[in-house]
Amino acid sequence: MNLPWFKRIGIFFIPVSIMGWFVMIGGIAYSVYVFIDIDKGSHSVSDTLIKFVFNFLIICAVYSLIAYLTSKAPRD
């Protein structure tokens, strides 16, 4: 039985199975970890945000790729 992990709503992917929720929570947890790690070595708010944005975009791209590959194809 091949259940989809995500459901596409517009440009967003919403988890519909337990594996989808694990992927989403894992992405959020990793984003928080990366932010805290970058913030430890930064000297200002702008320094933290500039370094974090690139990492956050990569995390979002990986999440979107996983969600796209494991979501149900929309019916036209």
Task: Indicate the residue type of 60.
Answer: C
Tell me what pLDDT residue 37 has: 93
CA distance between the termini of the chain: 23
Tell me what pLDDT residue 9 has: 87
Tell me what pLDDT residue 73 has: 67
64: left (phi over 0), alpha (psi -120 to 50) or beta: alpha
pTM of the complete model: 0.84
Mean pLDDT by 10 residues, the chain (76 residues): 82 91 96 94 89 94 93 68
E-only strand ranges, the chain: 6-9, 12-15
4: left (phi over 0), alpha (psi -120 to 50) or beta: beta
Q: Where are the domains of the chain?
A: 6-70
C-alpha 36/C-alpha 15 separation (Å) is: 26
